[in-house]
Amino acid sequence: MTIHIERSALMPYSAHQMYLLVNDVEKYPEFLPWCTETQLISSTDTEMVAKLIISKGPIRQYFITRNNLVADKSVELNLQEGPFKKLHGLWTFNQLSSEACRIQLVMDFDYSNVIIKAALGPLFNKAATTMVEVFCQRAKQIYG
């Protein structure tokens, strides 16, 4: 069964600033509590392939996504490899004024099997539902 999550926030920062935060995958372990390690596999102006290792206690899994990038507009995540049958995400950044933007994350995911769902489900479900909130907190730390 596919899980669908949508979250958004109005931010007192530019779309450019928020895009930079979301796209800075190598810094994720500094502020995403469930992300312990990242590896940038390849990166261009329009595409990034990245590996994220997520863990909590004895549970440790990784996944690789291919991210399509539209500068200051969107980051689209598509599963390349990992413990999911399906993982698709879309971050969008809409400039509202010179000092504000709206960010939105839409995610759809499904686990590859019942065992993975039982082990990883609570961790990833919480991570997905709190992702926008965590990035908002990070923006306040970085941009003031």
This prediction's pTM: 0.92
Q: What is the mean pLDDT of residues 39-57?
A: 94
Work out the pLDDT band at 138, boundaries 50, 70, 90.
very high
Distance CA 134, CA 119 (A): 23
What is the predicted pLDDT for the residue at 7? 94
Would you give the DSSP letter of residue 120? H
Characterize the bridge pairing of strands 35-43 and 59-70.
unpaired
The fold for domain 3-143 equals: Alpha-D-Glucose-1,6-Bisphosphate; Chain A, domain 4 (3.30.530)
Angle 28-79-54 (CA atoms, 0-180°, nearest 5)? 35
Neighbours of 48 (CB within 10 A): 19
Strand order in the sheet with 84-97: 3-11, 100-111, 84-97, 74-81, 59-70, 47-56, 35-43
Q: What are the Cα distances from residue 54, in Å, to 83, 94, 99, 100, 105?
A: 11, 29, 33, 31, 19
Q: What is the mean pLDDT of residues 57-68?
A: 92
Mean pLDDT, rounded, of the chain: 93
User: What are the tens digits of pLDDT across the range 88-132?
Assistant: 999 999 999 999 999 999 999 998 888 888 877 777 778 778 899
Q: Give residues with Cβ within 8 angstroms of 95, minimum separation 6.
A: 14, 15, 72, 101
Q: What is the mean pLDDT of residues 50-68?
A: 91
What is the predicted pLDDT for the residue at 75? 99
